């Protein structure tokens, strides 16, 4: 199980529409989250660039568009992006990024002269189930984690109403009214887990309203963040 920012490629027609009017394009993959599960990595960037080449010819009747592909280790890292592209950025009119929204904006900040467009939709912070190849939302980065009170199951991300005092009247035999009773009701999962732990008193407790300022965007964490490059160095 790993945790990633889940992205999904936009429909090709939408991407073609977006790049209308540009001649020299770089499809830029990200080998971070988007690459890990093969949606926006180097291979997918190459694949998308060949589809775009075909599309430019057949849809836009343009023979001479220059469409190239490459990828960087992490598009959300300014230094990595700068090093990888500073010598070639002048060769392109547009960058088509396959990273999450943070990656797209990082590239745009590093190269403010070049338009950077999203080739993917950024969806959620996901947990991957490798066996089934599924991705599930488990955390919404709410800024005030209450997993300690809820048996380790997040009601913010997993309850369709993000309720603090569920289950709501919409649960039927442990399934949620949203999405046609396919998803588990988070609050029934919480109930079962806390029951297992002998902590139903915690379940029964009235949880008071949140201070929503905690998750007010835009959020920052300023200073004191020591960059190690990963790997626990």
Binding residues for ligand SF4, total number by CB under 6 A = 25
**Token pair recorded at residue 141:** 């980065």
Q: For ligand SF4, which is the closer residue by CB, 62 or 210?
A: 210
Residue selected from 149, 162, 184, 215 as contacting another protein according to rule CB under 8 A: 162
Task: Considering only the stretches 70-78, 86-94, 151-159, 225-233, report the one whose residues sit in contact with ligand SF4 under the rule CB under 6 A.
Answer: 151-159
- Partner in contact with 54, chosen from another protein, ligand SF4, none, beta carbon below 5 to 8 Å by kind: none
- Asked if residue 187 binds another protein (CB under 8 A), the reply is yes
51 makes contact with another protein (CB under 8 A): no
Q: Cβ of residue 147: shortest distance to ligand SF4, in angstroms?
A: 5
Give the binding-site size for another protein (rule: CB under 8 A).
Answer: 29
Interface residues toward ligand SF4, by CB under 6 A: 139-142, 145-147, 154, 156-157, 159-161, 163, 166-168, 170-171, 176-178, 185-187
Interface residues toward another protein, by CB under 8 A: 160-174, 177-178, 181, 187-188, 191, 200, 203-206, 208-209, 212
């Amino acid at each position: 199980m790993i945790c990633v920012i889940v992205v999904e490629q936009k429909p090709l027609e939408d991407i073609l529409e977006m790049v209308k009017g540009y001649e020299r394009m770089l499809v830029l993959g990200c080998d971070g989250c988007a690459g890990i599960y093969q949606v926006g990595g180097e291979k997918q960037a190459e694949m998308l660039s060949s589809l775009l080449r075909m599309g430019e010819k057949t849809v836009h009747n343009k023979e001479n568009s220059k469409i190239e592909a490459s990828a960087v280790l992490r598009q959300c890292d300014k230094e990595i992006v700068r090093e990888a592209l500073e010598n070639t950025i002048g060769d392109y009119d547009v960058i088509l990024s396959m990273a999450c929204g943070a990656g797209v904006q990082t590239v745009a900040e590093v190269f403010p002269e070049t338009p950077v467009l999203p080739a993917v939709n950024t969806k959620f912070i996901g947990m991957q189930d490798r066996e089934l190849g599924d991705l599930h939302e488990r955390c919404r980065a709410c800024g005030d984690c209450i997993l300690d009170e809820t048996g380790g199951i997040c009601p913010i991300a997993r309850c369709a109403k993000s309720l603090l005092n569920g289950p709501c009247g919409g649960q039927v035999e442990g399934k949620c009214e949203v999405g046609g009773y396919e998803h588990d009701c988070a609050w029934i999962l919480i109930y079962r887990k806390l029951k297992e732990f002998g902590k139903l008193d915690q379940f029964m407790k009235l949880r008071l309203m949140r201070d929503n300022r905690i998750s007010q965007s835009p959020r920052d964490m300023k200073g004191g963040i020591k960059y190690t490059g990963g790997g626990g160095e």
